[in-house]
Structure 1
Amino acid sequence: MSAMRFIATLILPVLILSAAAAPPASVPVVQEPPPLEAVSPSQKLDKLFAQLKRLRDPSAAQGVVAEIWGVWNISGSATVDLMLRSADAAAGKQEYAAALDYLDEAIALKPDYAESWNKRATLHFKTGNYERSMADIAQVLAREPRHFGALSGMAAILEDAGRDAAALAIWERVIDLYPANRDAQGHVRTLSEKLDGNKT
């Protein structure tokens, strides 16, 4: 064997090993995608209300309505959540004074949370205190103007007071937000017929 061939047999395995150990130049570096931005409750509600407005089938709309209530029911405070659960339990046992105390406390702890006001408005409505119910409904709508539950309560109080034209306008607002709401549709139909009859 010549000296050149002997040297080549020694160097060639070293070159092969070196090439195998080096990273291939042509392989791109894979970077992790940036984290997705969290969707805020407000953005989620905007999307859900847009979906609800397009739906005409009550069964299909119910799923979206449940999601909306799911967002509304997130207070962000464990203490407020506890107060609201306690209020619901007390109201379920017709212990209305205790339920009201819990709701007062929840509102004091987090006054910007609309659902505490809505629950208190509902309690006042249930106990026949319409004036206080309307005052709390105003607080709900100041925080969430699309709250079809609070709007429905307002329309029912106006209708009970004989203010049919005002009630009709609120029920129409409910339908604008929630077109598949059969209850609101029925009230609009009845009140429209009644008001038209009064004109003749």
Structure 2
Amino acid sequence: MRILFAFLATLFLFGSISLPAQAEDPATPPVVTTKEARLDQLFVDLKRERNEKAAERIAGRIWSEWSQSGSASIDLMMQWSQKAIENQKFDVALDFLDQVVTLQPTYAEGWNRRATAHFMMKNFGKSMSDIDHTLRLEPRHFGALSGLAQIMAATGHKQSALEAWQRVLTIYPMMRSAQDQVGTLSEELAGEGI
């Protein structure tokens, strides 16, 4: 009997026999696995966060999720487009981004990046069209809403710019640039009403 006990104890210690798994700790939240579920949780966290730096970290994680297309080819074209934008080679960037939105039309960040390229070229109409596509795919895209607000301000539509910045703040309350723009535009519009 002692030999059998010693044998079973040895097997247990070296992992050949395992005990049944213990029940999961109900206090431990389940791991979020889908991209949509991760984004939903990040947006909840972003809306609740009252520390500006912590909110910036959450926003960075959201951008990281948005940047993952699920395709190595699309990701590579997005990298090339970003490099072209940084080098102010907007036509080259648009060539890549046209391919991105053609190959993966449900990838919101492809549309947003193309909107950014158009914006930097001052093609506001085309930028707004791409922003519209972005927001249809991801209505919480605070980057696209920020771009819309900047276009509205640049074209003299202050009230629309203010409304777009306010939409940004409903999603990302601690975004400093949005807070500043809401304050500035509110003062300007109040002054115009006098």
- For structure 2, the 5+ residue unaligned runs are 9-17, 24-29
Matched, 1:106 2:100: yes
Within-5 A mapping of 1:116-127:
116-127=110-121
Distance 1:18 1:132, change over 3 A: closer
Q: Which residue of 174, 178, 182 maps to 1:180?
A: 174
- The alignment's C-alpha RMSD in Å is 2.5
Within-5 A mapping of 1:25-174:
30-32=19-21, 39-174=33-168
Amino acid at match of 2:42: L
TM-score, scaled relative to structure 1: 0.82
- 1:145 partner SS: coil
Aligned length: 182
Cα offsets for 1:41-72 (capped at 9, x unmatched): 11111111111111222112111011111110
Matched, 1:197 2:176: no
- For structure 1, the 5+ residue unaligned runs are 1-15, 24-28
Amino acid at match of 1:30: L
Amino acid at match of 2:41: K
Q: Aligned equivalents of 1:185 and 1:119: distance in 2?
A: 23
Distance 1:38 1:177, change over 3 A: closer
Q: Aligned equivalents of 2:81 and 2:110: distance in 1?
A: 10
Distance 1:19 1:98, change over 3 A: closer
- 1:119 partner SS: helix
Larger mean Cα displacement after TM superposition, 64-73 or 36-45: 36-45
Amino acid at match of 1:181: M
Q: Percent identity?
A: 42
Deviation (angstroms), 1:92 = 2.2
Structure number with bigger Rg: 1
Deviation (angstroms), 1:131 = 0.4
Runs of 4+ in 1 over 4 A off after TM superposition: 16-23
TM-score, scaled relative to structure 2: 0.85
Partner of 1:3: none
- 1:56 partner SS: coil
Q: Aligned equivalents of 1:132 and 1:86: distance in 2?
A: 21
Larger mean Cα displacement after TM superposition, 93-102 or 107-116: 93-102
Q: Aligned equivalents of 1:20 and 1:91: distance in 2?
A: 70
Larger mean Cα displacement after TM superposition, 187-196 or 114-123: 187-196
